[in-house]
Chain A
Amino acid sequence: MSRLAKFDVVSIEDLETSDIERVFALADSFAAQLAQGDQITTAAGLIMATLFYEPSTRTRLSFESSMHRLGGAVISSADMHASSAAKGESLADTVRVVSGYADLIVLRHPHDGAARVAAEYAPCPVLNAGDGSREHPTQTLCDLYILRKKKGHLKGLTVALCGDLKFGRTVHSLIYALARFGANIVAVPTSGMDVPDYVLKRLAAERNYSFSTVTMDELKSLAGGLDALYLTPSAPHQMALFTGDGALRNFPAAEPPAALDAFYVTRLQKERMSGKEAGPAQYVRFDARALRTSRTQEAVVMHPLPRLGELAYELDADPRAVYFEQAAAGVPVRMALIALLMEKAAAASVGPRPMAEAIRFKAEPPPRCSNLNCVTRFEGAYLAPRFTLGRSMDATVLALKCGLCERELKIEYVGHARSHRYYHFDENLQGYVRQWIEEGSLAVFDSVKQAEEAGYEPYRRGPQREIMNEEEVVGAIESLADQVIADVPDISAVSIVGVVSHGAMLALRLRGLIGSKTKVLPPCAALDAYKPADALHPIDGAENFNVEDRTIILVDDVINSGWTVQRAMATIWQRGRPAAVKLAVLIDRGHRAVPIRPNYVGKNIPTSRGERVQVRLAAAGTESKSHDRVMIYSIVEPLKEPEAAH
């Protein structure tokens, strides 16, 4: 049996409070032994592999030092990008291979959620040394360790977190941990670098915890001793700076404020900033003045290092500046974590944490994570996006949470696979959606168009009325053909692309008309932007369809937001570079959300957003056009009692 438990530390939440307390006790004991110069052999014979896909000095060195100090050995690859990763090996394969060489993997990776993937695939335990902008749990252990050492306890401490609270992964892990230990948090973000929503939501949901946010200026005023400012009743969040429980709720104005126990300052992350977001000039600068007020004289100053300009060097001599002790704690704390894994193996009571079961979706394609830095966007087909129900506060969208990076995806249209009905999501559907997830019959859609192309019908339609009859539809298509012929100088350069399904039917009708009017019959293809494998296929009997250097007439029945046209053009561009794209639509109903304008329009029909325009067309070549008509109906009725679940 392995000497280490398969116990992964991907998030600080993977550690029970008792685990953290045990780590601190072990760290105290290792620190004492190191101070005495004792030889420690706890981990003799064990090998740790450090896989760092991103540069790091202190985290890597302190992990490697910890293992050496414990009497174990370390193997390492100098630069992961230069080795197997550069040859395209997946993360899953790399960690499985490395598991054969080592008892423990320490991973630093640039993509959000990568450590969770490594932990799932590696047979040996994985310690997360930072994944993307998510978490960095061992740094948090060091932070908590120092805070507890300096203050004697964690519960009830008031900690001001200053600077970049958005990208700083150390801060996210620290927030979860401070919340767990009952500390009060005051967030002091640099402009535009607030704590992300998913962190706040998780705190609210799992720990019923919230904290207040103050501006840098308010913090500076505090540092200058302008205490009265914080008692102004018209600015309640400022008063909350010193509440007893750190949150906004029910703070009585007369209660005297408590003191700050710690400032945790983060680095200005130059590599992730844009020009306007926050220049160095606007970033927090922390110096000895901040510690001179009556409310801050007991406060310690922490920083994960490296520092840039945000901490004055004059602070270094102050005993309250503990950032170098914080860095030095890295070794005993990481030794303690490795020792904890050995204790857990001896206890043999741990197994992999059960994951919340991912939702199985009906209808293709399944949604993908909206976070561009999510590991699911990089790792290829083996790593399918997985989602669980999220916690959006917005009642008009269904929130799905990515199982790996926790980013929430907002879904507007949901469908029930058995009844083949789709719905615009609202909170009344919440219960039904849960039921459909259990049945495995939930479908989600980006748009009405996608739902209808997947064969789903609107759940309920209001009264219908005809807005174009057969004669008007025939006339509008004729007019489209005339507009194309008058506008395009060389019809032999034209190829027609219709968006499935009604756009494609319309494309064939147009092609027939253009053919009979000009004696040139353009090639014609159907385009399905939702089916990547078969996105563009000829429907004129030809073998191939070429877009390169062609004048493409892109045809759809109705244009609304225009996103479908954007997707259609993206599909065309995957095949080549057309000389031009002209857009022909039977109906333009307004409500454009992208800067796209059709070149040829059969009829403009202003509609309200909740209305749906449905086009019915006879197939090309059929003599009778009696199927041609355009209907309009409403689908905005509030869904009080959905019945499709039965």
Chain B
Amino acid sequence: MQSGFFLGVAMSAAPIVALDAAQVGRSIKRIAMEIAERNGGADNIVLVGIVRRGATLAERIADELRANGRREVPVGTLDISSYRDDGKGLPGDPRLIGRDIPFSLDAKRVVLVDDVLYTGRTVRAALDAISDLGRAESVQLAVLVDRGERELPIRADYVGKNIQAPHGQRVYVRLTEIDGADAVVVGNANVK
């Protein structure tokens, strides 16, 4: 855990901005740079974003890779829902409900992109979906925020920021394309 960010007194306080727009932008740039460095360029890479904000982040990372003079990186998406469909409103285990990956993953290095890494259950469901799609050489995980508290043995390869938020608090990633502005905010579950 590097650069931990602990919000000990935030329970009833107003939502706290953990990353502002400039910091979000820098984090995405740095993740893209690390991906290119670790993989010796972007030639064999494909990005798979988890709907919805992971998919937007994947597009941003692809833009960065392109802007750095690297080649076009294919971007696909996985739609993984963590809510049960029986109407009871309780969180169930995440499962795949949709997929848009119109290219082969054979022998590719797949970078899976999500906004927040928490229990690891969404990533597990995503790994199942990817392994179903063919023989990827490897799967690497990039997240904007790692908030710890893992329930499964999952770890990220690229992390924008580690945030330790108290139980009961939520970490919200806001992105311009969806929310009008970039920010990472920590607050009570009903704050948005």
Contact = CB atoms under 8 A, between A and B. Distances in A.
Interface in B49-108: 59, 62, 72, 74-77, 92-93, 100-103, 106-107
B152 A569 contact: yes
Interface stretch (B37-45, B154-162, B183-191): B154-162
Contacts of A370: 106, 134-135
A566 B128 contact: yes
Contacts of B134: 370, 372
A597 interface: yes
B177 to A, nearest CB: 11
A539 interface: no
Interface string A583-599: 10000000011111111
Contacts of B131: 563, 566-567, 570
Contact of A273 (B93, B102, B153): B102
Given A372-B132, A410-B106, A595-B112, A191 B151 contact: no
Nearest to A411: B135
B59 A595 contact: no
Interface string B139-151: 1110000000001
Nearest to A166: B102
B78 to A, nearest CB: 12
Contact of A595 (B74, B135, B140): B140
Contacts of B153: 554, 565, 581-583, 596-599
B123 interface: yes
Interface string A560-581: 0101011101100100010111
Contacts of A453: none
Given A569-B124, A579-B151, A583-B153, A275 B135 contact: no
Contacts of B139: 593-595
A353 interface: no
A594 B76 contact: no
Given A273-B102, A274-B100, A277-B74, A581 B152 contact: yes
- Size range of the chain B interface in the assembly: 35 or more
B191 to A, nearest CB: 27
A268 to B, nearest CB: 13
Given A274-B75, A274-B102, A372-B132, A596 B62 contact: no
A274 B140 contact: no
Most-contacted residue by chain A among B100, B102, B106, B112 (CB, 10 A): B102
A452 B140 CA distance: 27
B154 A595 contact: yes
Contacts of A579: 151
A200 B138 CA distance: 26
A376 to B, nearest CB: 14
Contacts of B107: 410
A272 B102 contact: yes
Interface string B10-28: 0000000000000000000
Interface residues of A, number: 35
A515 interface: no
A566 B127 CA distance: 7
Contact of A192 (B72, B152, B157): B72
Contacts of B59: 275-276
Contacts of A554: 153
B104 to A, nearest CB: 9
Interface in A188-218: 191-192
B106 A192 contact: no
Contact of A597 (B106, B128, B154): B154
B112 A192 contact: no
Contacts of A599: 153
Nearest to B134: A370
A295 B147 CA distance: 62
A191 B72 CA distance: 9
Contacts of A566: 124, 127-128, 131
Nearest to B151: A580
A578 to B, nearest CB: 8
Nearest to A582: B153
B106 A580 contact: no
A273 B102 CA distance: 7
Contacts of A577: 92-93
A144 B139 CA distance: 44
A393 to B, nearest CB: 13
Best-surrounded residue of A167, A273, A581, A597 (most CB of chain B within 10 A)? A581
Interface in A598-637: 598-599
A570 B128 CA distance: 7
Contacts of A272: 102
B178 to A, nearest CB: 14
Given A579-B151, A597-B153, A274 B112 contact: no
B57 to A, nearest CB: 13
A410 B106 CA distance: 9
A266 to B, nearest CB: 15
A410 B135 contact: yes
Contacts of A561: 138
A600 to B, nearest CB: 9
Contacts of B137: 593
Given A274-B77, A597-B154, A573 B93 contact: yes
A276 B74 CA distance: 7
B181 interface: no
A190 to B, nearest CB: 12
A410 B105 CA distance: 12
A255 B52 CA distance: 54
Contacts of A273: 102
Contacts of B124: 566, 569, 573
Interface in B101-129: 101-103, 106-107, 112, 123-124, 127-128
Nearest to A167: B102
A274 B138 CA distance: 22
A111 to B, nearest CB: 16
Contacts of A277: 74, 102-103
A202 B128 CA distance: 32
Contacts of B100: 274
Nearest to B157: A595
Given A192-B74, A595-B157, A276 B62 contact: yes
Nearest to A371: B134
Given A566-B128, A595-B112, A580 B152 contact: yes
Given A274-B77, A565-B153, A577-B93, A593 B138 contact: yes
A595 B141 contact: yes
A569 B141 CA distance: 17
A563 B130 CA distance: 11
Contacts of A565: 153
Contacts of A570: 128, 131
B106 A275 contact: no
Given A274-B75, A274-B77, A370-B106, A596 B155 contact: yes
The 6 closest A-B pairs by CB, nearest first: A595-B141, A583-B153, A593-B138, A597-B155, A580-B151, A276-B75
15 contacts: A191-B72, A192-B103, A274-B76, A277-B102, A372-B132, A372-B133, A410-B107, A554-B153, A561-B138, A566-B127, A567-B131, A573-B124, A595-B140, A596-B155, A599-B153
Given A410-B106, A569-B124, 8 more contacts: A192-B103, A275-B75, A277-B103, A372-B132, A372-B133, A592-B138, A596-B153, A597-B153
